[in-house]
């Protein structure tokens, strides 16, 4: 299982708009960009994901409104979990996930340090086992606009 944190290399690639090209040339599975949307004044949170494949299939995407989460980070976790379930349902077993939420990457990298999210993290670990290849990488907001617009 691979997790990528906010390293200078990954961030610079995303900012220079070459990150996606690099991922496409180096990854043979699916790339799934995820995002959550949360405002304290809204009744709903938004989740969105945008998935591309290396074998030329048309992109797939999803968007949903849920009862407002407790926090923006809760919305991000819910977006990732929903995207993972959608990929499992489509039998996509080799998936690289991308998020613009650094705390989400930190959380799945060090789950014991986030006890308030233990139920989500147990669900994450259970779903994670369905993938033959899985990674979660941090990208810039600018590199995640499609998922952001869906959320």
Across the chain, what does the average pLDDT equal? 81
What are the structural domains of the chain?
2-150 (3.30.420.10)
Q: Is the pLDDT of residue 74 over 90?
A: no
pTM beyond 0.75: the answer is yes
Token duo for residue 28 = 């043979």
Task: Give φ, ψ of 132 to 5 degrees.
Answer: -80, -25
Give 86-135 pLDDT, tens digit per residue: 999 999 999 999 999 999 999 999 999 999 999 999 999 999 999 999 99
Count of helices and strands (H, E) across the chain: 6, 6
């Amino acid at each position: 299982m691979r997790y990528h944190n906010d390293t200078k290399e990954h961030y610079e690639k995303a900012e220079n708009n070459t990150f996606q090209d690099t991922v496409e040339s180096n990854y043979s599975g699916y790339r799934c960009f995820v995002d959550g949307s949360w405002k304290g004044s809204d009744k709903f949170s938004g989740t969105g994901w945008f998935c591309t494949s290396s074998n030329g299939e048309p992109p797939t995407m999803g968007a949903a409104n849920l009862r407002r989460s407790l926090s923006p980070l809760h919305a991000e976790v819910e977006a990732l979990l929903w995207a993972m379930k959608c990929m499992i349902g489509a039998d996509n077993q080799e998936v690289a996930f991308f998020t613009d939420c650094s705390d989400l990457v930190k959380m799945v990298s060090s789950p014991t340090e986030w006890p308030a999210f233990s139920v989500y993290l147990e669900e994450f670990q259970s779903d994670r086992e369905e993938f033959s290849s899985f990674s979660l990488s941090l990208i810039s907001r600018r590199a995640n606009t499609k998922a952001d617009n869906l959320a």
